[in-house]
Structure 1
């Protein structure tokens, strides 16, 4: 259950962080206005809280692993929202990042 909870939290964090950054981008770069930017800032703040619910107590480990999740999530967001088509190198890189996440977060450790 702990691994499943952790993965769910990573997915929620991806939505909040990438979604928040995307909203800021839309508000500023696409001239959609301050309400979009404000919503993005709120989502980014929410991301900060989501990370605190990860079962591992080490901030550095959580943030390092999230970096890999962020890489893959950003490509997925681009595919769904912006109709971006990643090439094989994007996909290979994202896979390497996710393998790194699995090693960082879920490798057996002695206490």
Structure 2
């Protein structure tokens, strides 16, 4: 029987900068959504997401986290996110950068 992707319950992450420099780095002057899409689990975020298969054991990988762009000074290719995938069978990881809207 072929294993299917497992969905981890979505856990929203809220940035909590601890220094003045970090506080100044967070957020966008022109976009209220970018920088707010950090999370653990749930469906991967993005327009062209493809659930990868593990390169080691060929099983479907699970979205473990979505990391959003930080702010104007640390933007990922026009407000992209990074989806981090893990193989819960063997521990292999993979990531993808993708354009994401609201």
TM-score class normalised by the smaller sequence = under 0.3
TM-score when normalising by structure 2: 0.22
TM-score when normalising by structure 1: 0.21
Larger strand proportion of the pair: 2
Q: Which has the higher contact order (CA 8 A, sep 6+)?
A: 2
